[in-house]
Homo-oligomer: A and B are copies of this chain.
Amino acid sequence: MSVFDKIAPSAADIEAAAKRMAGVAVRTPLINAPVLDERVGARVFLKAETLQRTGSFKFRGAYNRISSIPPERRSAGVVAYSSGNHAQGVAAAARLLGMRATIVMPSDAPRLKRERTLALGAEIVPYDRNTEDRAAIAARLVAARGATLVPPYDDPLIIAGQGTIGREIVEDLGQLLLEPEIVVVGASGGGLAAGISLGVKLRVPSAKFYTVEPEGFDDTLRSFASGKREANARMSGTICDALMTNTPGELTFPINRELIGAGLTASDTQVAAAVRFAFEELKLVVEPGGAIGLAALLAGSLDVKGKVVVAILSGGNVDADLFAKLIS
Residues of chain A at the chain B interface (Cβ within 8 Å): 26, 29, 31-35, 50-51, 53, 55, 112, 279-286, 316, 320-321, 323-324, 327-328
Contacts and interface: CB of A to CB of B under 8 A. Distances in A.
A327 B323 contact: yes
Contact of A32 (B26, B283, B286, B327): B26
Contacts of A35: 53
Contacts of A33: 26, 51, 53
Contact of A284 (B112, B284, B327): B284
A112 B280 contact: yes
| A interface: dominant SS | helix
Contacts of A281: 55
Contacts of A26: 32-34
A316 B283 contact: yes
A324 B283 CA distance: 14
Contacts of A323: 279, 324, 327
Oligomer: number of copies: 2
Contact of A328 (B53, B280, B285, B320): B320
Contact of A283 (B280, B286, B320, B328): B286
B51 A31 contact: yes
Contacts of A55: 281, 283
A324 B316 contact: no
A49 to B, nearest CB: 9
B320 A327 contact: yes
Nearest to A287: B283
A34 B52 CA distance: 9
A53 B26 CA distance: 24
Interface centre among A285, A286, A316, A328 (most CB of B within 10 A): A285
A35 B282 CA distance: 22
Nearest to A320: B327
A326 to B, nearest CB: 9
Contacts of A31: 29, 51
A144 to B, nearest CB: 32
B283 A50 contact: yes
Contact of A29 (B29, B280, B320): B29
11 contacts: A31-B51, A33-B53, A34-B53, A50-B283, A55-B281, A55-B283, A279-B285, A279-B320, A285-B285, A320-B328, A324-B324
Contacts of A51: 31, 33, 282-284
A112 B281 CA distance: 11
- In this complex, the member of A35, A280, A286, A316 whose beta carbon has the largest number of chain B beta carbons within 10 angstroms is A280
A259 to B, nearest CB: 28
Nearest to A278: B285
Contacts of A328: 320-321, 324
